[in-house]
Chain A
Amino acid sequence: MPLLVKARSFMRNLFFTRRVEADLDEEIRSHLEMLAEENLRAGIAPQEAQRAARIELGGIDQVKEQVREQRMGQWLHSVISDGRYGLRQFRRNLGFTAVAALTLALGIGANTYIFSVVDALLLRPLAFPDPSRLVALWERVPNIGLDRNELAPANFLDWETQNRVFDHIAAADWWDANLGGGEHPEHLHGFLVTPDYFAAVEAQPMLGRAFLPEEGTPGKDHVAVLSYGLWRHHFAADPSLVGKPVLLNGIDYTVVGVMGPDFNYPSGAQIWAALAFSPQSGTNRESHYLRGVAHLGVGISRRQAQTEMSAIAARLAQQYPKTNTGRDAGVMPLLESEVGQERAPLVVLLVAVGLVLLIACANISNLLLARASSRQRETAIRAALGATRRRLIRQWLVESMLLGLLGGGLGVLLAFLCLEVQLIRIPPEFALLIPGWGKIAINMPVLLFTSAVSLATGLIFGFLPALRASRPNVNDALKEGAPSAGPGRRHHLLQKALIVSEVGLSLALLATAGLMMKSFIRLEQVSPGFNPDRLLTIFIALPEAKYTSGEQTASFYEQLIERLQNLPGVQGAAAANMLPLGGMNSTSTIRIEGRPEPKPGEEPDANFRSVSNSYFRTMQIPVLRGREFTSQDSAMGQPVVAVNQAFASRFWPGEDPLGKRMRLSGPLADQPWRTVVGVVGNVRNRLDVPAPPEMYFPLRQQTKSTMAVVVRTSPDPRSMEASVRAQVAALDHDQPVFDVMTMEDLRSVTLIGWRLGGTLMAAFAGFALVLAALGLFGVIAYAVNERTHEIGMRMALGAAPQEVFRLVVGQGMKLAFIGLLVGLPLALGMGRAVAGLLYGVAPDDFATFAGVAAILAGVAFAACYIPARRAMRTHPMAALKYE
């Protein structure tokens, strides 16, 4: 096959150059000898025969060169030789190479680092081979801006039976599974899923099988699929586990399958069990707690699916106006649904590192431009010997791209180090829940990205110098002793333009960093409404099979709190079903006594928590009016509620809330009217969001089996972990605890986006600032050097050193100020782009902008100062000596 022959020739030319050359050499020589023999036979004298043969051949080297030019892969050869030449240049200019490579390493390293995070968290957080057909399903209430509401079971069941757009549809519910039977009880993060779940996300168990349709019915639902991690670490990777029972929450479940190591959905899941709806839950349209996923049918687009689901939702709203009025369905790409919050800050960081790299490029361009003029002679000689302009440009670009690759290689190392030392740290309990977090690494896609960036970087910074250098003035450059040809006005203009853009980009980065840092500092100062110092928090999920009554459950927590309070080093202990700052809420619609019945879809709602009597005291949440809960607030006692200030001022503005009554509506409508006995301070669930209206119920009157226990300690809370665990074990040896954290951890996790965004941005902006300063310094120093003659002349004519100083600094500062002016709109644009990430600071905050502009101007002054001082000290004699 000709193609094969061509490929073989190409490879041979490339890798066996010496043999190919020797072959050619011999062929030409034998040809020459045969020509000579021919001449001899024709009766020509030996001497003359040789000569005639040579004439007919026409120059051995020329023939060879002509053959070489025909060869396949010739271009590659010349690129390689350009590369070799470039490497020699690097070795000859070690200083330049080191500065350029380090600058690039920092720039490309930052890009690699951020991209590795973006790749893992945004691009491929779910280990699904092809997530394009997978969608997440949500209920939506557009009227109140609710975009992602969990599904109510009965709505899900109707969606499941009525839709014709999905080939698989499933729902999942959080599940606290206590794994028994071992040495130590262990809590597992589990999910209850409807049987079609694994098919809906295109996953299959590595061992055993997924759930069968009939396992979605009550009584047959005690089957479980294990995650790979659980199977390995808890069951020693026992291949015969499938079919055997495991004890979960005191009930025997049959293991039917084990998932592969890559499957991690929902993020952090350790076990999945079949979800069966009881007759009651199967008709519930008011409790929204299911997460829906579905797989688009063949040939169905997401848009079509959305239209169909909206139509179904509209039908349901007509059919069940009381619960479904205003409720739409949302069909979202699964990827988009999973990565919500992290996207914006990561994209900002990615843009920022991109800008930093551009600044680095501008800097290196400037260095290369300076070098282009010092290498003019060399270029001129090459041009005189017949190198075409294209050839000259290519040689420069090959050199630049090599430099880019060198910087890229170092950058990868740098990024690798950053990942190794865990520049970004998150408590492992949280890291588990961030899809893709565990997969941040320098892997193949990241390396490909970095290689592409490195080459592109080389092209970008090498482009202008290559154009410049490839147009040498051969005549002038070759004249011996000619003043090393001044690079000319256009050259200077180019350098100045580069500096101006560096300063402009730096301003944009500094301003963004300033805004984000300020937001972070503002948030740090926000009081959450309670005292987060030295609080240990643990979670306990009491299995309902064992703790069957609310009475039993409440007693367990009350006994535990009492035991904990008696521990030395404990100042107080309490329990609540949801912690503040955790970002989790339970919300319910409510009715206020004496108010008219609200229209469907316009019911007021509020967050609610069940708390132990000691909760406000322990958390140090101020009780502003009335009282905290006491032992009278038992299941038998009068139903009571405490509300926060936001609740009081929203529902009883200007009135005394004490003694007023309210009750829950919706799924909890059977609940009694409750009397307000206390008003407490607002507590934030997220630091950046003001507290919404919130209610607190006494634990005895609204019991939850899964509770967070908080312990205020005198020593470091982490040091008390073991004794707190021991108290739980003393009460119930089989009861595991989970998510053991300190409130400080929780607080820092809620701030992590801002902290990382702010500090990384500040680091990048600082780097940009240094680069811009170095660039300015370089250009001014270069200009001073070039003008030594002129400055000496001025001094000789009587200019004062101060005037020279002003002249030089003025030149630099002019550039800096133009840069600031150019950068201002860019900075304002960036500020607006990150507005969503800011807290307590306007995107055009004057103080921030003025501050960073002042910093830039100060640094620019410093960068001009050194060359200006040197210019001041120019001796008038220099005017004569120079050159």
Chain B
Amino acid sequence: MNTEPTTLLQGTLDLLILKSLVAGEMHGLGVSRRIQQITGGTFVVKPGSLFPALHRMEEEGWISSFWGDSENNRRAKYYRLTKAGRKQLEVETTRWGRISWAIAQALAAS
């Protein structure tokens, strides 16, 4: 496996963030590490992409935020999925399924 983190496809970041938050509420660093973990280290999300995405998604109403204490008793901003966010996850998941199926079809074609 290539160890170079792959550049994120446009639109996949939202899906990954939503997916990682299904496990429960977490702060920005947590989200970033979780994505790294569930993609087997393929995707590393930089703060310069992560925070704008988190804030945009919060404004869209897919996730909500609150201040809480981290595992080391540090104040951190936590995010969690909203109802609209779960719905959005479904939408994005089906869309991604369609895309990956289409790409696979395209690659399988001779």
| Interface positions of A (Cβ within 8 A of B) | 1-2, 4-6, 9-10, 23-24, 26-28, 30-31, 33-35, 37-38, 56-59, 62-63, 66-67, 69-72
- The answer to whether A63 and B27 have CB atoms under 8 Å apart is no
CA–CA, A30 and B74, complex, Å: 8
* Shortest Cβ gap from A172 to chain B (Å): 61
Most chain B CB within 10 A, of A2, A38, A58, is at A2
> If the complex has contacts A9-B58, A30-B76, A34-B76, are A58 and B51 also in contact, measured as CB distance less than 8 A?
no
- The answer to whether A67 and B72 have CB atoms under 8 Å apart is no
- The answer to whether A67 and B51 have CB atoms under 8 Å apart is yes
- The answer to whether B55 and A37 have CB atoms under 8 Å apart is no
**Pick the contact of B47 from A63, A70, A72 — CB < 8 Å?**
A63
**Pick the contact of B59 from A33, A63, A71 — CB < 8 Å?**
A71
- The answer to whether B74 and A5 have CB atoms under 8 Å apart is no
**Pick the contact of A63 from B29, B48, B84 — CB < 8 Å?**
B48
CA–CA, A26 and B75, complex, Å: 9
- The answer to whether A33 and B52 have CB atoms under 8 Å apart is no
Query: Which residues in B have their C-beta under 8 angstroms from that of A26?
Result: 75, 77
- The answer to whether A30 and B59 have CB atoms under 8 Å apart is no
B61 within 8 A of A: yes
Interface size of B as a range: 20 to 34
- The answer to whether B58 and A30 have CB atoms under 8 Å apart is no
> If the complex has contacts A28-B51, A37-B72, A71-B55, are A2 and B60 also in contact, measured as CB distance less than 8 A?
yes
**Pick the contact of A34 from B29, B52, B59, B62 — CB < 8 Å?**
B29
> If the complex has contacts A6-B61, A58-B46, are A34 and B55 also in contact, measured as CB distance less than 8 A?
no
Query: Which residues in A have their C-beta under 8 angstroms from that of B84?
Result: 2, 5
- The answer to whether A67 and B27 have CB atoms under 8 Å apart is no
Query: Which residues in B have their C-beta under 8 angstroms from that of A58?
Result: 46-48
- The answer to whether B47 and A57 have CB atoms under 8 Å apart is yes
Report the nearest A residue to B76, measured CB to CB.
A30
> If the complex has contacts A5-B59, A5-B61, are A34 and B74 also in contact, measured as CB distance less than 8 A?
yes
CA–CA, A66 and B69, complex, Å: 26
- The answer to whether B61 and A31 have CB atoms under 8 Å apart is no
- The answer to whether A72 and B29 have CB atoms under 8 Å apart is no
Most chain A CB within 10 A, of B52, B59, B60, B70, is at B59
- The answer to whether B56 and A70 have CB atoms under 8 Å apart is yes
- The answer to whether B52 and A70 have CB atoms under 8 Å apart is yes
* Shortest Cβ gap from A52 to chain B (Å): 13
**Pick the contact of A30 from B52, B60, B75 — CB < 8 Å?**
B75
- The answer to whether A30 and B47 have CB atoms under 8 Å apart is no
CA–CA, A4 and B59, complex, Å: 10
* Shortest Cβ gap from B3 to chain A (Å): 17
CA–CA, A118 and B35, complex, Å: 67
- The answer to whether A70 and B70 have CB atoms under 8 Å apart is no
B41 within 8 A of A: no
Query: Which residues in B have their C-beta under 8 angstroms from that of A72?
Result: 59
Report the nearest B residue to A69, measured CB to CB.
B52
Query: Which residues in B have their C-beta under 8 angstroms from that of A5?
Result: 59-61, 84
CA–CA, A66 and B84, complex, Å: 25
Query: Which residues in B have their C-beta under 8 angstroms from that of A56?
Result: 46-47
CA–CA, A26 and B76, complex, Å: 8
For window 40-99 of chain B, which residues contact chain A by CB distance below 8 Å? 46-49, 51-53, 55-56, 58-62, 70, 72, 74-77, 84
* Shortest Cβ gap from A76 to chain B (Å): 14
Known: A9-B58, A34-B70, A56-B46. 16 other contacts (CB 8 A): A5-B84, A26-B75, A27-B77, A28-B47, A30-B27, A31-B27, A31-B47, A56-B47, A58-B47, A58-B48, A59-B48, A62-B48, A63-B48, A66-B51, A67-B55, A71-B55
CA–CA, A35 and B30, complex, Å: 10
- The answer to whether B75 and A66 have CB atoms under 8 Å apart is no
CA–CA, A35 and B52, complex, Å: 18
Report the nearest B residue to A59, measured CB to CB.
B48
Query: Which residues in B have their C-beta under 8 angstroms from that of A37?
Result: 72, 74
* Shortest Cβ gap from A347 to chain B (Å): 49
- The answer to whether A66 and B77 have CB atoms under 8 Å apart is no
- The answer to whether B77 and A30 have CB atoms under 8 Å apart is yes
Query: Which residues in B have their C-beta under 8 angstroms from that of A23?
Result: 77
CA–CA, A72 and B56, complex, Å: 8
Query: Which residues in B have their C-beta under 8 angstroms from that of A69?
Result: 52
CA–CA, A69 and B49, complex, Å: 12
Report the nearest A residue to B54, measured CB to CB.
A67
Query: Which residues in B have their C-beta under 8 angstroms from that of A70?
Result: 52-53, 55-56, 59
Query: Which residues in A have their C-beta under 8 angstroms from that of B77?
Result: 23, 26-27, 30
- 19 A-B pairs within 8 Å (CB atoms) are namely A1-B61, A5-B59, A6-B60, A23-B77, A24-B55, A27-B77, A28-B51, A30-B76, A31-B29, A31-B47, A31-B76, A34-B27, A34-B70, A56-B46, A58-B47, A63-B48, A66-B51, A67-B52, A70-B59
Query: Which residues in B have their C-beta under 8 angstroms from that of A4?
Result: 61
* Shortest Cβ gap from B108 to chain A (Å): 37
**Pick the contact of B51 from A27, A35, A38, A59 — CB < 8 Å?**
A27
Query: Which residues in A have their C-beta under 8 angstroms from that of B75?
Result: 26, 30
* Shortest Cβ gap from A854 to chain B (Å): 66
Query: Which residues in A have their C-beta under 8 angstroms from that of B76?
Result: 27, 30-31, 34
- The answer to whether A9 and B29 have CB atoms under 8 Å apart is no
- The answer to whether A66 and B48 have CB atoms under 8 Å apart is yes
- The answer to whether B60 and A35 have CB atoms under 8 Å apart is no
CA–CA, A24 and B75, complex, Å: 13
CA–CA, A62 and B15, complex, Å: 24
* Shortest Cβ gap from A157 to chain B (Å): 68
CA–CA, A5 and B56, complex, Å: 12
CA–CA, A753 and B61, complex, Å: 62
* Shortest Cβ gap from A30 to chain B (Å): 5
Most chain A CB within 10 A, of B48, B70, B74, is at B48
Report the nearest B residue to A73, measured CB to CB.
B59
* Shortest Cβ gap from A207 to chain B (Å): 53
CA–CA, A618 and B59, complex, Å: 86
- The answer to whether B29 and A35 have CB atoms under 8 Å apart is yes
Query: Which residues in A have their C-beta under 8 angstroms from that of B70?
Result: 30, 34
CA–CA, A87 and B80, complex, Å: 43
Report the nearest B residue to A57, measured CB to CB.
B47
CA–CA, A70 and B13, complex, Å: 15
